[in-house]
Amino acid sequence: MSTTLLFHPTPDATYGFPNARRLAHVASPHQQIEVWETPQLGRLFTLDGRPMTSVGDEYVYHECMTHPAALAHPCPRKALVLGGGDGGAARQLLKHACIERIVVAELDDEVIGMARRYLDDVHQGALDDPRVEVVIGDAAHFVTSTVEHFDLVVFDLTPPDSPAAGLYTREFYARLKRILTPRGAISMHLGSPLFHAARIAALLDDLRASFLVVDPLSAHVPLYGSQWLMAIASDTLDAAALFAHDVDERLAARRVQGLRYYDARLHASLFALPRALRDTLGVRR
């Protein structure tokens, strides 16, 4: 039986997808996990009723969350994905020939199981690639206990107003810096500037207090019903400073193929936020 699948980015805002059909539901010890089939975006994945990813537009989010940060680094070899149990971020990172190891630190093994069963168009086998290790457990514990160092860390977590709130803090960023290589960077999503402007401004303030270079970027993600902001933070790398020819050369050198959204022509525009938004968020360039 079909229904209208509704999402509520704030208590007074609603959008949705008519004629959705639920394919699977699991109540894990951590959260409610659902997979839906929709006419608009194909298979759609939710956690506790929040939209996480969909087959129809996942490439927009995952390409923007991974490639700008990866290309800012001269040769990233090891990456850590916090969350990311759908496998989309790992899949994009694996496109870089220099990547040797990816750790996906996912809280919930049921998320991995649902992704393997229903979201093969998102991960495309990345979760079972020999370069990828899936670690089930608390991401904060992994960051605190690991002895490894990573060139890239991708925050592919639920939003800051969820149980992952403790990972969006200056204290946690300080822990992350201890496991970043000297030229490392983190990439994270911030939310909708329409619905979450105050929260995003606070997140950017915390990032600026923790890293020397913070580059916000944005893309329109249909599943999220809005423009969606992300940020790349580092003490040494400046993704926004890359020229189109830099992007082209690095994509070619790393043999990155199969991109559907991100490329050299798009790169600079990702970081070109509207003036009103720059003023609201305190972005100075």
Cα-Cα-Cα-Cα dihedral sign, residues 83, 110, 137, 200: positive
128 labelled binding-site residue: no
CA distance 158 to 164: 6
150 & 209 share domain: yes
pLDDT at residue 134, as a whole number: 99
For residue 105, the cross-strand partners are 82, 135
Q: pLDDT (tens digit, 9 = 90+) per residue, 153-171?
A: 999 998 888 888 889 999 9
31 labelled binding-site residue: yes
pLDDT at residue 159, as a whole number: 87
Q: Provide the whole-model pTM.
A: 0.97
30 labelled binding-site residue: no
70 & 176 share domain: yes
Q: pLDDT (tens digit, 9 = 90+) per residue, 218-229?
A: 999 999 999 999
pLDDT at residue 104, as a whole number: 99
8 labelled binding-site residue: no
71 & 42 share domain: no
Q: pLDDT (tens digit, 9 = 90+) per residue, 170-217?
A: 999 999 999 999 999 999 999 999 999 999 999 999 999 999 999 999
151 catalytic residue (yes or no): no
86 & 41 share domain: no
246 labelled binding-site residue: no
CATH assignment at residue 127: 3.40.50.150
pLDDT at residue 165, as a whole number: 82
Quote the Cα angle for 228-231-237, to 5°. Answer: 150
Q: pLDDT (tens digit, 9 = 90+) per residue, 41-60?
A: 999 999 999 999 999 999 99
Q: Once rounded to an integer, what is the mean pLDDT over residues 121-144? A: 98
50 & 101 share domain: no
Please answer whether residues 82 and 153 qualify as being in contact, where contact means their C-beta atoms are separated by less than 8 angstroms. yes
142 & 183 share domain: yes
* Burial class, 212, CB count within 10 angstroms (exposed 0-12 / middle 13-18 / buried 19+): exposed
Has residue 284 got a pLDDT over 80?
no
CA distances from 72 to 10, 151, 152, 221, 242 (A): 34, 11, 10, 23, 7
283, two tokens: 């972005």
Q: How many domains does the chain have?
A: 2
Has residue 250 got a pLDDT over 80?
yes
108 labelled binding-site residue: no
**Buried b / exposed e across 18-37, counting CB within 10 Å, b at 16+?**
eebeeeeeeeeeebebbbbb
pLDDT at residue 282, as a whole number: 86
203 & 88 share domain: yes
pLDDT at residue 13, as a whole number: 95
- Domain holding 94, by residue range, is 58-281
pLDDT at residue 163, as a whole number: 80
124 labelled binding-site residue: no
Single out the catalytic residue among 156, 215, 248, 263: 156
Mean pLDDT, the chain, whole residue set:
97
Q: pLDDT (tens digit, 9 = 90+) per residue, 263-275?
A: 999 999 999 999 9
239 & 155 share domain: yes
29 & 63 share domain: no
Which of 54, 80, 97 is at the close of a domain?
A: 54
pLDDT at residue 69, as a whole number: 99
pLDDT at residue 161, as a whole number: 81
25 & 146 share domain: no
CA distance 237 to 68: 11
Please answer whether residues 193 and 204 qualify as being in contact, where contact means their C-beta atoms are separated by less than 8 angstroms. no
Has residue 78 got a pLDDT over 80?
yes
CATH assignment at residue 49: 2.30.140.10
